[in-house]
Amino acid sequence: MTSNPSNTADGTWFKSIKRSFVDVPVNRDNDNAISTTEFLEASESLATLFDVLGSVAFTPVKNDILGNVKKIRDRQLAAPAMSEDLQTLVFNELKTKKHTAAEGLLWLVRGLDFTAQALRQNIASSKDELATSFRSAYTTTLKPHHSFMIKPIFSAAMSATPYRKDFYDKLGGGEDKVSHDLRLWLSALETQVGILKGFQSRKEAQW
């Protein structure tokens, strides 16, 4: 099923997307290995959330996520037997003295962390508009890593967020209706971001 943010008559956006982070396999018995294919599909699905936000200002944010997904998938397609989970993919790429996919994953995780923190702050502060939550999340996730040329582009997107009520209506009928699905999806996303941030902090995962 493909994502269509405007077609949520039968449920919420979270039920319309191709892959939810809730459905990404994480092998707890193998150092929390995260399945590559499903994670990339869930990340692509997350990128459609920026369509729900409804402004072309978010196009660079969406394209950044999709561009990093492509870097990882290109490595997966080049060496599928050595890329079944993200951690193995990174280790095996680094053995070749390359780090295109590893760097793509680093930036992808930063983008996902930004999205997760923005939404977590918004549901934790019921009176905050999206612009407040997204600006705060940007400051602590992506902004420290962006150049002076990139920062204004992303800052413009933070200012282009819709009103809180309009956003939750677009997700599927209002905040009360989407709250359950949002919290499940967000919790799974946060867990996987946490696993990957921990993995990327390890010396053997760096270049």
Q: Residue 33: phi, psi to the nearest 5?
A: -60, 130
Instruction: Tell me: pLDDT of 84 over 90.
Output: yes
E-strand stretches of 18-171: 26-27, 33-34
Query: What is the rounded average pLDDT of the residues 137-146?
Result: 88
Rg of the chain (C-alpha set): 17
User: b/e per residue, 149-187, with b = 16+ CB within 10 A?
Assistant: eeeeebbebbebbbebeebbbbbbeebebbeebbeebbe
Please report the beta strands in 3-160, taking only residues with DSSP state E, as ranges in sequence order. 26-27, 33-34
pLDDT at 109 > cutoff 70: yes
| Phi/psi at 26 (5° precision) | -125, 120
Q: What is the pLDDT of residues 154-167, one digit of tens each?
A: 888 888 899 999 99
Each residue's pLDDT tens digit, 114-139: 999 999 999 999 889 999 999 999 99
Model pLDDT for residues 32-73, shown as the tens digit of each residue: 999 999 999 999 999 999 999 887 888 888 999 999 999 999
State the burial class of residue 101 (Cβ atoms within 10 Å of its Cβ: 0-12, 13-18, 19+).
buried
Is a pLDDT exceeding 50 seen at residue 2?
A: no
Task: Tokens for 154, please give them.
Answer: 């992303």
pLDDT for 11 beyond 90: no
Do 61 and 55 meet the contact criterion of CB atoms below 8 Å apart?
no
Look at residue 183 in the predicted model and tell me its pLDDT: 96
Provide the pLDDT confidence category of residue 149 given band limits of 50, 70 and 90.
confident
Average pLDDT, the chain: 92
Tell me what pLDDT residue 8 has.
47
**Band of pLDDT at residue 10, cut at 50, 70 and 90:** low
Rounded-to-integer distance, Cα 3 and Cα 115, Å: 18
206 neighbors 45 (Cβ within 8 angstroms): no
pTM of the model: 0.91
Examine the pLDDT at 103 and tell me if it is beyond 90.
yes
pLDDT at 122: 95
